Structure 1
Amino acid sequence: MASVSLPPKFPIFQHDATSPRSSEVTNHVFTLFPLLPAELRIKIWRSTLQRQRIIQVVLSPVNEAEDHYIIDGSLDTPNGEEFIAEVGGYNTISKLMRVNKEARHEALLFYRLHLPCRFIKPWEIKAQPEACRRGVLYFNPEYDFLHIFHTKDNGDSPSSLRTLSNFVYHLKTTYDCRHVGLLNLALDRDPAKPDWRAGAVRFHDSFDASDLPAGIDTTLRATLEQLHEVFFVFRTPIVRDSDWPDEDQFDLLHSTLLPIWSASPNFERAGQDPRHGVSESLQENSSFYWFGLDSALNDWNCLLAKLDLPLLNSGSRSQTHYSCGLAYSVDSALTWESFVRESVAKPQHYVFNMETARNYLCLQQKRSGRTNSGEWMPTFGFWLFRLPEGIEHISRFRNSYVDANGIQRIRHSAPDLTKVWSELLVANLY
């Protein structure tokens, strides 16, 4: 019988202080756990729950959502909400909900905010969902980030901000028993303008907070003022010496060590990226598209100015920490390719766990013709660059381009991103 060559298991970097290069998880069964004192068991449950997540949420005005769903007011908008929240991603419901009664009780206490929603698959974030099931998003404002998207018809008008205002109002006043609401926020400006769902809620000049219903305007101001962290997330292909992403994205990804976007909501903060060669990658002229960085920051500042809040780059004292997140996205690379090749993102392009991560890397390895990955240790997550001090070092465009005469020209010197490089966020794929 002919031997079968199996694809190698990539040594994917996971943030694990005890064994950072380990690619396997060893399952240990502790049979005496039920015999521990109740106080100790509860402490263990709570320690397990104290993890950060980035949860993707698509906001749709109710009148727009009626085109896609049969709205049942008692289930979808029980408190008069003017939005439908659709939650994408994978494993947004804690496994402790299904362990036993004690674990579920602690999980429900920890994730104290219970928001009625519709669950959608991650690849439907930017495509009209075929079917959505009703559910509840359980999250903890002190730990979790909400990654806010808008629907296509809601993005370029003041209605997007009214929808966002209504959303943060109900988070704070209706669903949070402590009346805290949103503390951590992620926004992105996706290049996929033609898509049904297309990135962050955007500012519109005609928006006037004073036109909001009583209480909602003050809640919006209070929420934005209390934010702990805001990530502006940029998911990008990689380019080099051409106006379009190279077909062999795997080869460029191998060279730049750019983290890969994952649909898994769970992540760990790894501090400075410990992988070999990262510093060199950030100093070289490997080029990333910073899609709409200036406009995204300008939109955010325009909203803050409307509400008389400190601007991002004003030097005013603010408790909010801003960062710009960067990750390689198969989704965004395919968006660029679609302009010339009619390619579309498919489920196999999304990573949820270690198995799908390895399958994706093996698929890209086969596509590129590489026979081995060498010492490359990819990771899934994204880099974070602190703002506003990092803005001047971040290039919106690639560094070189080919002019109308076919001559390669340099726009400016390559940015040295090590000057603003602060940390790596690693998706937890286990």
Structure 2
Amino acid sequence: MAEHSAVRALVDSIGQGFVEFEPPSRRTSADGPLDWPGYADQRARASGRSDTDESVLCGRAGLGEWEAVLIAFDFAFLGGSVGEDTGARIVAAFEHAREQRLPVISLIASGGSRMQEGIRALQQLQAITSACQLARQDRISHVAVLRDPTTGGMWAAMGAAADVVLAAPGARISFGGARVRSAGEDGEDFRAEGKFADGQVDRVVEEADLPGVLTELVSLLHPARLTRPPEPAPLPAALGAERLPGTGIQAVERARAADRPRAGSYLDAYFSARFEISGDRAGGRDEGMICGFGDHGGRTVAFAAQSGARNSPAGFRTAARLIRLADQLGIAVLTLVDTPGAANDAESERGGVGPAIAEVFGAVADARVPVTTLVIGEGGSGGALALAAPENTWVTADAYFAVIAPESAAAILKRAPSEVPELAEHLRLRPQDLLELGFARGIAR
């Protein structure tokens, strides 16, 4: 009783007034589909240690002024493993979420598919994946919390498939559990902190902070809050210089000035609250690409903001992930452009910087939601253009945009460094030039 009470206590700490769903009719006999020796007794002992007859607890609860569907795994019940009846309850919970237009929060602690039910248990990964996809198609957001441990199928089919992935500090997270991995393989790569460093987890959250973080996410991503079709994100006010630069080289120097307002300042001024996602889900993070969702005047706006550095493949893939997720949920996007260009070192080439930039171009082109762009600093070639919305790009007075930096143009043309200012004029990269040439829609004030 005590072990499962801990799971109920977790649910109660996260949401108010938790109401458990009526479980679907049982699909598996006590002995299971394989007639596994002793399985009925194992289930009976697991039930005796808890106040439920399965490894998941599903229901709805209030989080702040909104409600959400909660799916909580009980590791004390056969290691939080998933069998036929477990899968049926999870699928039914996602169906409730779709019917009631509620976001889903899954609190995962599982060793994977239930060995005693064999292939019938393994098939639940397909059923759960299908339920997650149907919810995604209906614009129902899914937030996963990876608890200790999260391994096997529930990491692959449910945790990693969520829109936002949180993790408990130190939680063991891996596809292969410790007992089936090669001897000696362990460490941070198999823990929450390692998954965060590798871009597979958005944030590591202390248990005491979890209710507040989840309440914030539910508020930002609740279907009832997201109007369709969304209006374009309002243009941020310019925070830097008011006067336009007189020359091209002056525009470049202004954009490169150390005291110019950067993305963080713009995001702080624009949003009353925001949640950042982190990582490309493919092994990388880039702190120079800030992505997430925020509250602007009572509405949710997604953002992808360059912070002045050269972005890596992981940064571009994270931006593409953010734009695709916003499009899926029906959230308008704001992009802030500020980069001298994409990273061009050997590591970035090996990491696929070209294909990663192509992902962003494609995500912007495919987006059904409006994308608004403000160039707040350097607009360096394709690495900057990838985030720019065609026909809805604005520019500040202390920014520039160019096909190539004037110094690089001088190198290509074999011109002396003293001729860089002249080339800056020829490139017509000033804000007023960009407006006259039809690239910028206007100059932000």
TM-score (normalised: structure 2): 0.24
More helix by share: 2
| Structure whose alpha-carbon radius of gyration is higher | 2
